[in-house]
Structure 1
Amino acid sequence: MGAANFLPDEVLGRLREGMLIPYLGPGVTALGAPAIPVSDAELATFLGDRVALPRRARGNLWAAAQFIESRRHRKALVSLMSEAYALPAPPVPMQHWLAGLRPSMIVDTWYDGAMRAALAGTGQDWGEIQGITRAGIGEARWYRAYDHAGAEAAIGAAPGWRTLLYKPHGGVTPAHNYLVADSDYVEVLTEIDIQSPIPDEVKRRREGRGFLFLGCRFHDQMLRTYARQIMKRSAGPHWAVLPAEPMTRNERNFLEQQGISPIEVPLEEIGRAIAA
């Protein structure tokens, strides 16, 4: 693998020692150019192509999803989300590489199942926790756990997994859980400061570790809030591979405030080096 050509030695060392938690955005899946939406803007466009949206919701994923849920039904929104991710995204070399490192935890913030597919080749001692919507489900839970085969598992099984895949916004596999509408986040963002929606096992595994952000954007306050709360009480240091597009002032302020050191190398170059 050629990641050493582009990632700082300290970053590589900490990854291999299990002291860095990969935190993945849709930019990682996008390296494989899959036929699925790989940004919030693309997913908003997908939804807008299938449902006539008011002007205020066009181009805004969370508002578009909220409009669909309010005007049609939650089932219609889930159906459209599952249609958007019906084609499986094959894991890219970066995901296979990260899976092979067997980190204590991988955070994956997008809706596809590529990272789960990459972990499937590492054995059976891993599992997943996904955020779930509380809208209309009549449950007090914030999340569900799934084993390596995709069967729902007791949350108490998570400490026994060598690698935990944490998908805070849900995902198409294995059970079509999606946090995407504004209403999905109302209760979460109300309590996230006191960490209630963050699984205890995630809190445990972040202790003493830092985060490596790959393929992420933080142009929306909700995305920044989630990252800040998932990082909370971790030890650092943290790094982020910067996006190819210019970052907004809010994004740069976020990196500075959270003590995240930038790695100014295009993710695509790191991906090609890993694949070489």
Structure 2
Amino acid sequence: MTIALDLCPSEALASVAAGLRAGSIVPYLGPGVAAAGALATPMTPEALAAFFGTKVALPKRARGNAWASAQHIESFKHRRTVTAYMDEAFGVPVPPTPFHARLAALGLPLIVDSWYTGEMRQALAQHDDWAEVQGITRAGIGEDRWFRFYGPDGGEIDARRAAAAATLLYTPHGSTIPARNFLISDADYVEVLTEIDIQTPIAECVRERRTGRSFLFAGCRFHDQLLRSYARQIMKRSSDTHYAIVDLQQLTRNERRFLDEQNITPIDTPLDTALEQLIAG
């Protein structure tokens, strides 16, 4: 399904809604989808960096950068301290939105949730036949693993059971639920990015389900190179047409270039308006 560039946002969203119903579009959710209901929970990397700054004195190079801030804490305190701060930052559950509920009800083959708060998992808890593959840090675990699989009850399951589920939730950066897995420090990402070009850190069941499908980016920003690198690798070998709900006036030059390079059609409309239309669709 191709969305013509001259379609107005409402027409483009109607086409995307049809693709979601058909299972041919993979939602790639950012923290912006649930930000309005998050209260004091950090819902951007910058807000998370600011939270870290309330806990420790950060060097100038780390201020405003969540990954560098976490690395500073890990280096000068301990990884357990980073995890404790992440638990505190995301300790208050963020409720799923009606859009999360709509996606959960569709029985989609694959959903990507790129923030730590777990709203999509909470929405899926109202349904059966789904599983989660979650990115994990390898710091201190003594295992050559990049991800773990979880069932609806939060218990760890094997790859075969996850691959058999009707819906697969992929949380590439980890999540506060069910097991407090967090990819957050620079060291975490250096490890992953050294191998992500050959796709090792991405589970085979994710790679299979993205094949030939388009992605819809909602509530995401790609103003940081790390965020762009992750999205680019998750999209590999998928369709050559994708969509993003954006405010074109707020995009950085690098974000615009990323959309162009990845053939991502921008849908320039307020996020809440777009999500309401997708829910109705």
- TM-score, normalised relative to structure 2: 0.93
Q: Report deviation, 1:50.
A: 1.0
Q: Report deviation, 1:274.
A: 6.0
1:68 equivalent in structure 2: 73
Residues 19 and 274 (structure 1 numbering): CA distance in 2 closer, same or farther, change over 3 Å? closer
1:105 equivalent in structure 2: 110
SS of the residue corresponding to residue 217 of structure 1 reads coil
Residues 172 and 33 (structure 1 numbering): CA distance in 2 closer, same or farther, change over 3 Å? closer
Query: Match of 1:88, as an amino acid?
Result: P
Q: Report deviation, 1:235.
A: 1.6
**Cα distance in 1 for residues equivalent to 2:195 and 2:262:** 20
From 149, 157, 160, the counterpart of 1:156: 160
* Structure 1 contact 170–179 (Cα < 8 Å) conserved: yes
Question: Which has the higher mean CA deviation after the structures are superposed, 97-106 or 196-205?
Answer: 97-106
**Cα distance in 1 for residues equivalent to 2:248 and 2:208:** 33
**Cα distance in 1 for residues equivalent to 2:124 and 2:176:** 16
* Structure 1 contact 169–178 (Cα < 8 Å) conserved: yes
Query: Match of 1:61, as an amino acid?
Result: A
- What do residues 206-235 of structure 1 show as CA deviations (whole Å, max 9, x unaligned)? 012110000000011111010000000002
2:258 equivalent in structure 1: 254
Query: Match of 2:185, as an amino acid?
Result: A
Question: Which has the higher mean CA deviation after the structures are superposed, 32-41 or 141-150?
Answer: 32-41
1:222 aligns with 2:256: no
**Cα distance in 2 for residues equivalent to 1:159 and 1:31:** 33
1:269 aligns with 2:277: no
* Structure 1 contact 133–177 (Cα < 8 Å) conserved: yes
- What do residues 46-78 of structure 1 show as CA deviations (whole Å, max 9, x unaligned)? 111111111111111110000000011000000
1:188 equivalent in structure 2: 192
Name segments (4+ residues, structure 1) moved above 4 Å: 4-7, 272-276
2:17 equivalent in structure 1: 12
Residues 245 and 98 (structure 1 numbering): CA distance in 2 closer, same or farther, change over 3 Å? farther
Query: Match of 1:73, as an amino acid?
Result: H
SS of the residue corresponding to residue 27 of structure 2 reads strand
2:5 equivalent in structure 1: none
SS of the residue corresponding to residue 164 of structure 1 reads strand
5+ unaligned residues in a row in structure 1: which ranges? none
Q: Report deviation, 1:254.
A: 0.2
Query: Match of 1:132, as an amino acid?
Result: I
- What do residues 177-205 of structure 1 show as CA deviations (whole Å, max 9, x unaligned)? 00000000111100100111010000000
1:147 aligns with 2:178: no
SS of the residue corresponding to residue 262 of structure 1 reads strand
- TM-score, normalised relative to structure 1: 0.94
User: What does 1:192-211 correspond to in 2, within 5 Å?
Assistant: 192-211=196-215
* Structure 2 contact 121–169 (Cα < 8 Å) conserved: yes
- Identity %, equivalent residues: 54
* Structure 2 contact 38–95 (Cα < 8 Å) conserved: no
- What do residues 115-166 of structure 1 show as CA deviations (whole Å, max 9, x unaligned)? 10011112x2001010001122111000000001100111221121111000
RMSD across aligned C-alpha pairs, in angstroms? 1.6
1:237 aligns with 2:231: no
**Cα distance in 2 for residues equivalent to 1:68 and 1:268:** 36
From 61, 86, 94, the counterpart of 1:89: 94
Residues 134 and 243 (structure 1 numbering): CA distance in 2 closer, same or farther, change over 3 Å? farther
